[in-house]
Amino acid sequence: MPLMAGSTPLTRHPVRVFEARVAEVRNLSPHFRRITFTGPSLRAFGVPGPTLDLRIKMLLPTPGHALRPPGTPNGYLRPGWYQDWLRQEQPGRGFIRSYTVRALRRTGPDAEIDVDFVLREGPRSHSGPGSSWAREVSAGRRAWFVGPDATAHTDATPLPESGINWNPRGARHVLLAGDETAVPAISSILETLPTDITGHAFLEVPEPADILPLTTGSGVQVVWLHRGGGTVPRGLRLRAAVEQAIIAPGREPFEYAWVGAEAGSVKDLRRYLAGSGLNPRTSEFRGYWSMGKSGSGTNGIPVPSGLEPRGD
Ligand SMILES: Cc1cc2nc3c(=O)[nH]c(=O)nc-3n(C[C@H](O)[C@H](O)[C@H](O)COP(=O)(O)OP(=O)(O)OC[C@H]3O[C@@H](n4cnc5c(N)ncnc54)[C@H](O)[C@@H]3O)c2cc1C
């Protein structure tokens, strides 16, 4: 619904800040921790259809300091809010990291959101603000994130502006591939795919115990891959599985690919799939994190050498 300033309608920004409470913290497997958020503000959280690969931006405090969330006191943001946030001083600014809405439920008076955080192994120096927060948080804590404002959406709002990138544009034979950071997104997408969609989904996780329950009514064949607890290099099995699906005799070409993983692995898969005839511009290739850089995605800040995480 548009806001009115005098007689001039103001279009609200499609995303806003939500203040929530941690309702539950539950380990799903050795490397996945599900954190459930709730609170009255979440009544306004959402997109018109299924959440698919919907991302939110967690606003994480600098340890020991209060967070100053961006936007107005009631959470409204305006275009350019991220640049404004970058100009704020630390420690109040804190950190922003992207995560996926694994589930959105509207069963009680307030909605609930599940987010599955990857817990990395190794010494604390290998953590970042996101993984450290997920490791230490407990029920009852306050949390802030930027996500889609359901009340600000109109039919004209493009889904990417709300945080959804899955867009097969009518493709019927699809490829989904990702590491553990993309397991929540791929799982949510598969849950809502219609029966007549076929293809392959490859999910690479650290170890067999990280294979999670996943349902799909589609014809997509789901294949879990694992790195044997660190004995197999990251991305190797994912690359081999994609390659096998491409070169298998009699295979049907993929019309659309959705790939989310470590940035180097995504770059390599993009190049390989483009070489196999897929148009990368109409597919979705997204670095979910970069080895040796802090910050979600491909544009992180280099971490000082000696503090890089292990490859598992
Ligand atoms: C659209 C999108 C959706 C995402 N959804 C999820 C999600 O649902 N769950 C989830 O857990 N992550 C998700 N991610 C990935 C997550 O944002 C990154 O892993 C992020 O770097 C975590 O922040 P951090 O503060 O823990 O580490 P950072 O401060 O960003 O990084 C610190 C160090 O850890 C390394 N590092 C970062 N991530 C990993 C990793 N997964 N494994 C090993 N080393 C790592 C970095 O290379 C760096 O050296 C998503 C990313 C994007 C772009």
CB of 130 shorter than 6 A to ligand 1: yes
End residue of a domain, out of 120, 152, 184: 152
What is the span of the domain harbouring residue 141?
8-152
Q: Most distant CA pair in the chain: distance in Å?
A: 66
Domain co-membership, 127 together with 23? yes
Domain co-membership, 44 together with 98? yes
- pLDDT value of position 138: 98
- pLDDT value of position 124: 55
Domain co-membership, 148 together with 185? no
Residue 306 in domain = no
CA 63 – ligand 1 centroid, Å:
18
The model's pTM is: 0.94
CA 262 – ligand 1 centroid, Å:
9
- pLDDT value of position 304: 63
CB of 32 shorter than 6 A to ligand 1: no
CB of 131 shorter than 6 A to ligand 1: yes
Residue 188 in domain = yes
Output the domain CATH number for residue 202.
Answer: 3.40.50.80
Domain co-membership, 106 together with 236? no
Residue 300 in domain = no
> What stretches of the chain adopt beta strand conformation (E)?
3-5, 8-10, 15-29, 32-38, 55-60, 95-100, 103-105, 112-118, 142-148, 173-178, 198-205, 219-226, 256-262, 284-289, 293-294, 301-302
Residue 310 in domain = no
Residue whose tokens read 């511009």: 281
Contact 134, 119 (CB under 8 A): yes
Residue 307 in domain = no
| Tens-place pLDDT, residues 61-71 | 999 999 999 99
CA 204 – ligand 1 centroid, Å:
15
End residue of a domain, out of 130, 152, 174: 152
End residue of a domain, out of 119, 152, 185: 152
Q: DSSP alpha helices (H): ranges in 65-198? A: 81-87, 129-136, 159-162, 183-192
Domain co-membership, 141 together with 171? no
Domain co-membership, 264 together with 172? yes
Residue closest to 188 by CA, chosen among 281, 88, 113, 261:
113
Q: Digits of tens for pLDDT over the chain (312 positions)?
A: 444 444 444 568 999 999 999 999 999 999 999 999 999 999 999 999 999 999 999 999 999 999 999 999 999 999 999 999 999 999 999 999 999 999 999 988 889 999 999 998 765 556 899 999 999 999 999 999 999 999 998 878 888 888 999 999 999 999 999 999 999 999 999 999 999 999 999 999 999 999 999 999 999 999 999 999 999 999 999 999 999 999 998 999 999 999 999 999 999 999 999 999 999 999 999 999 999 999 888 777 777 655 444 434
Domain co-membership, 228 together with 95? no
CA 310 – ligand 1 centroid, Å:
13
CB of 120 shorter than 6 A to ligand 1: yes
Domain co-membership, 140 together with 191? no
Output the domain CATH number for residue 56.
Answer: 2.40.30.10
Domain co-membership, 172 together with 228? yes
Domain co-membership, 43 together with 146? yes
Domain co-membership, 171 together with 218? yes
Domain co-membership, 82 together with 212? no
Residue 2 in domain = no
- Based on the structure, what is the number of domains in the chain? 2
CA 148 – ligand 1 centroid, Å:
21
- pLDDT value of position 309: 43
CA 181 – ligand 1 centroid, Å:
7
Residue 92 in domain = yes
CB of 51 shorter than 6 A to ligand 1: no
Mutate to test the pocket of ligand 1, among 96, 181, 238 (most ligand atoms within 8 A of CB): 181
- pLDDT value of position 107: 82
Residue 43 in domain = yes
